[in-house]
Amino acid sequence: MSATHLVTAICPGSYDPVTNGHLDIIRRAATVFDRIIVGVIVEPHHKQTLFSVEERINFLKQALAGVENVGVESFDDLVVDFARRCGARTMVKGLRAISDFEWEFQMGHLNRTLAPEVETVYVMAGPNYSFVSSSGVKEIASFGGDVSEFVPPAVATRCHEIFGEGGRERKS
């Protein structure tokens, strides 16, 4: 297929931090679409991020280094505008539980109203990742828990640097 006919999809999110569940969804999407652009929102309005956008992008690039058809970029506008800029007509979102569905259902309708040409495709989380969330990872890490089972090694290391053995965020 020529570059002008490649089917591009975006996987947008805050990725604060990226989890193994996120990576599973992205890798699976990469087997369906010719090109995936992981969009990292610079400053999500619905939550404060622990990691800078540069850290979040670097975590994703390291974890996805072996997946040739995946790129990572930041964005700071409407997700549908990001999709248009990337030439993507599809947005891939992961679903873990009913609570994810309720939020994504609402956002899907809003996005569809703003950009009817951009379709949202939902990918169910694998059973071994259905309970893993970025907020859960941060909660465990904040109390000094080991998050290495849930996130890429670079994220686990950085969580340990931030929170240490006993928890509580360190000022550095």
Provide mean pLDDT across the span 92-97: 92
Domains of the chain: 8-128 (3.40.50.620)
Is the pLDDT at 25 greater than 80, yes or no?
yes
Q: Quote the tokens at residue 58.
A: 């670097």
Residue-level pLDDT at 172:
47
SS (H, E, C) 40-62: EECCCCCCCCCCCHHHHHHHHHH
Residue type, 166: G
For the question of whether the overall pTM of this predicted structure is more than 0.85, the answer is: yes
Is the pLDDT at 93 greater than 70, yes or no?
yes
Q: What is the pLDDT of residues 46-76, one digit of tens each?
A: 889 999 999 999 999 999 999 999 999 999 9
**Active site amino acids:** 22, 47, 96, 134
Q: DSSP readout, 88-149?
A: -SEEEEEE-SHHHHHHHHHHHHHHHHH-TT-EEEEEEPPTTTTT--HHHHHHHHHTT---TT
Kindly report which listed range (46-50, 106-110, 134-138) carries the lowest average pLDDT score. Answer: 46-50
- By the 8 A CB rule, do 9 and 29 touch? yes
